[in-house]
Amino acid sequence: EAQVTQNPRYLITVTGKKLTVTCSQNMNHEYMSWYRQDPGLGLRQIYYSMNVEVTDKGDVPEGYKVSRKEKRNFPLILESPSPNQTSLYFCASSAWGVRPNTGELFFGEGSRLTVL
């Protein structure tokens, strides 16, 4: 089954304690992206990756890191989480290496993070 898998789905942590949210896709997609979603603000892109070893900042990259060492995995790292990073996080992938692009985004189920 084609899917994007994120872990953990729910996490409560404390300020400053490093954490990693994993994301894996089994569709051989070139493009992967991380979003955060907050009430009234919609989806905001954190980082994206067009292919292995290629990552770029989105709209709200501060406080986050990513890596793309393998095509299927795109972990999101919070080196020193703060309460303003409490949010719902989505990983997504797409076959956007192909032009012209009609590729839809496939989303993971989301990771709800609370930083105390």
Partner 1 sequence: GQNIDQPTEMTATEGAIVQINCTYQTSGFNGLFWYQQHAGEAPTFLSYNVLDGLEEKGRFSSFLSRSKGYSYLLLKELQMKDSASYLCAAQDSNYQLIWGAGTKLIIKP
CA 3 from chain centre, in angstroms, equals: 14
Nearest to residue 29, comparing CAs of 82, 111, 110, 103?
Answer: 103
In sequence order, what are the residues at sequence separation of 6 or more whose Cβ sits closer than 8 angstroms to the Cβ of residue 53? Answer: 68, 69
Residues 23-52 that bind partner 1 (CB under 8 A): 40-45, 48
Q: Does 96 bind partner 1 (CB under 8 A)?
A: yes
Nearer to partner 1, 48 or 74 (CB): 48
Nearer to partner 1, 14 or 98 (CB): 98
DSSP helix/strand/coil, 85: helix
Contact segment (CB under 8 A) with partner 1 among 20-28, 62-70, 78-86, 94-102 equals 94-102
Nearer to partner 1, 80 or 110 (CB): 110
- State the nearest-atom distance from the C-beta of 40 to partner 1, in Å: 6
> CA-to-CA distance for 27 and 23, rounded, in angstroms?
13
Q: Does 95 bind partner 1 (CB under 8 A)?
A: no
Using an 8 Å Cβ cutoff, are 72 and 52 in contact? Answer: no
Specify the residue for token string 């300020």. 15
- Which residues contact partner 1 by CB under 8 A? 40-45, 48, 90, 96, 100-102, 104-110
